Amino acid sequence: MVTVRPYTREDADAAYQLRRLAFGGPAQRSATPPEHPDAWRGLVADDDTGLVGFLRIWAYHQFFGGKAVPMGGIASVAVQPHARGNGVAGSLLTESLSVMREAGQVISALYPYVIPPYRRYGWEHVGTTELALLTLSGLASTPRSSVALRPAVQEDLDDIHECYLRTASTVDGMIDRSAPGFDLTWLVERDVVTVAPGPHGIRGYLNADRPDGKRLRAYDLVADDLDTAHALLRQLAGWAGTLTDARIRVLGHTLDLAVPGGLRRGLEVHDFMLRVVDLPAAVAARGWPAVAESKPFTVDIEVADPHAPWQSGRWRLVHEDGVVAAEPGGSGALQLTTRALGPWYAGSATAAALRTAGLLTGDPAAGVALDRLTGAPHPVHMAETF
C-alpha cells in the first residue's frame, strides 16, 4: 500500500539517496547552505519499506502575455526501482495538482527525461530552452557603438534584474527570477559581468564564465536597444584570437537579429512541458494579446481533466473590455483534453494543430477564435532549466 504525503526535513537523507539513484551525484549529501524554505515544496510516497517516491515543486512565475503567472515547476521525480510501474509517480503527480492549486500555482511546467508519464497526467510540450554557438570571427563586423560599458558592482543587481525583466516579460515562457529560491547574486558572480549604464539604471548587460580557461560560456546578453547590443557584442568579439567561439544562452529574439554573422541555434535544446492547473485562475493571471481587439467575443470550451476535476466541464472564455475571463457554462462548442490546455494557454500550438494531434474536437470557427485569444502560434521560450 503506497501513501503520498508532504515532504518534511526528516525525509532529506532518504529523498537525497533516491534522487542520487535516479539522477546521479556524490554518495554523501553535501553540506550546501539550506535553500530558502519557500523555494520548493516536496511530496513523498511511502510503502512498507520506507520512502519509495519523491518530487518537488519549485515556486516560480512564468511570463505569458507580459504578466508573471504563478507556476509550479515539477522536478526530481523519482521512484525506487522495486516500486516502479505501479503508479507511484502517477499518484505523486496527481497529488501535486491539488498542492499547486492550493498554493495558487495556476500552471505547472517541467523538463521531462521521459515523456509518457507526464503526458498521461496532462502536461504537454510547449517550448524550449536553448544554447547557441556564437562564432567570434562573425562578430568582427559588429557596428561601432556609442554606448559605454563598465564592470558590474553588487549595487547593480536590482537594475540588472529590472533590465532582464524588460526583455523577459516580452517573451512567453520566461521566468521572472523573483522566486524565493532564485539567488540573483549569481548574475554578478560570474567571471565577466559587464553593464551598460543608461539614463535610468542600466540599459544592457552581459555575464559569462571561463569554465576552464579554454571556453567562454555566456549566460545573459540583454540589451534594451541595438546600440547597447552592439557594444556588448563587440566586447565578446574581443575574445577572438584566444577563442574561436562562445556558447550563449538564447534569451529572447534580439540576438538572432543583432549578430552580424548570425547564431548557430540549437547547440543544445531542451523541451519543456506545461499544464494548466486551475483554468479560471490561470486565465485571469496571464496577459492576452486579444485584448488589443476592440470587439468583445466569446469561445465556449469543454474540458475533460480526470486528474484535476475542478477544471473539468464547460467554460465560456469571455474577451471584453480588455480582460479575458473563464466563466462556468456555455455550449461546449470545442472539446479539449487536458493535454490540449498547456499548448493552448501558452499559444504554442493552434487549435488546428491540436485537432490534428487528437487533443481537440468540435467547431472549427471556435478554434479560430481560441487562437485569436493567445495569438497562436508563436515560440515559447525559457532561459532556465530546473
> Whole-number minimum distance, CB 16 to ligand COA, in Å?
14
Sheet containing 150-151, strands listed edge to edge, beginning at the edge strand earlier in sequence: 3-6, 40-47, 50-64, 67-79, 107-110, 264-276, 124-135, 245-249, 217-223, 202-209, 192-197, 150-151
* Secondary structure (DSSP) of 177-231: S-STT--GGGGGSSSEEEEEE-SSSEEEEEEEE-SSSS--EEEEEEESSHHHHHH
Tell which positions 17-46 bind ligand COA, by CB under 6 A. 22
Q: With CB under 6 A as the contact rule, which of the stretches 74-82, 305-313, 332-340, 361-369 interacts with ligand COA? A: 74-82
Which grid cell is 350?
Answer: 493552434
Q: Under the criterion CB under 6 A, does residue 88 sit at the interface with ligand COA?
A: yes
Q: Under the criterion CB under 6 A, does residue 5 sit at the interface with ligand COA?
A: no
Amino acid at the residue 154? Q
Cell 511570463 locates to 63
> Whole-number minimum distance, CB 111 to ligand COA, in Å?
7
Q: Under the criterion CB under 6 A, does residue 109 sit at the interface with ligand COA?
A: no
Q: For ligand COA, which residue of 14, 20, 39, 87 counts as binding (CB under 6 A)?
A: 87
Q: Under the criterion CB under 6 A, does residue 85 sit at the interface with ligand COA?
A: yes
Q: Under the criterion CB under 6 A, does residue 148 sit at the interface with ligand COA?
A: no
Count of residues making up the chain: 386
Sheet containing 323-328, strands listed edge to edge, beginning at the edge strand earlier in sequence: 323-328, 313-320, 297-304, 334-337, 360-362
Nearer of residues 18 and 259 to ligand COA, judged by Cβ: 18
Q: Under the criterion CB under 6 A, does residue 47 sit at the interface with ligand COA?
A: no
Q: Under the criterion CB under 6 A, does residue 112 sit at the interface with ligand COA?
A: yes
Cross-strand bridge partners of residue 53: 45, 79
User: What is the Cα–Cα distance from 97 to 275, expressed in whole angstroms?
Assistant: 10
Q: With CB under 6 A as the contact rule, which of the stretches 56-64, 72-80, 198-206, 238-246 interacts with ligand COA? A: 72-80
Tell which positions 340-359 bind ligand COA, by CB under 6 A. none
User: What is the Cα–Cα distance from 220 to 248, expressed in whole angstroms?
Assistant: 8
Q: For ligand COA, which residue of 20, 67, 120, 372 counts as binding (CB under 6 A)?
A: 120
Q: Under the criterion CB under 6 A, does residue 117 sit at the interface with ligand COA?
A: yes
Query: Could you tell me which of 130, 163, 143 has the C-alpha nearest to residue 232?
Result: 143
Query: Could you tell me which of 174, 158, 163 has the C-alpha nearest to residue 252?
Result: 174
Q: For ligand COA, which residue of 8, 35, 50, 113 counts as binding (CB under 6 A)?
A: 113
Q: For ligand COA, which residue of 90, 287, 289, 313 counts as binding (CB under 6 A)?
A: 90
Q: For ligand COA, which residue of 24, 34, 116, 241 counts as binding (CB under 6 A)?
A: 116
Name the residues that contact ligand COA, by CB under 6 A. 22, 77-79, 84-90, 112-114, 116-117, 120
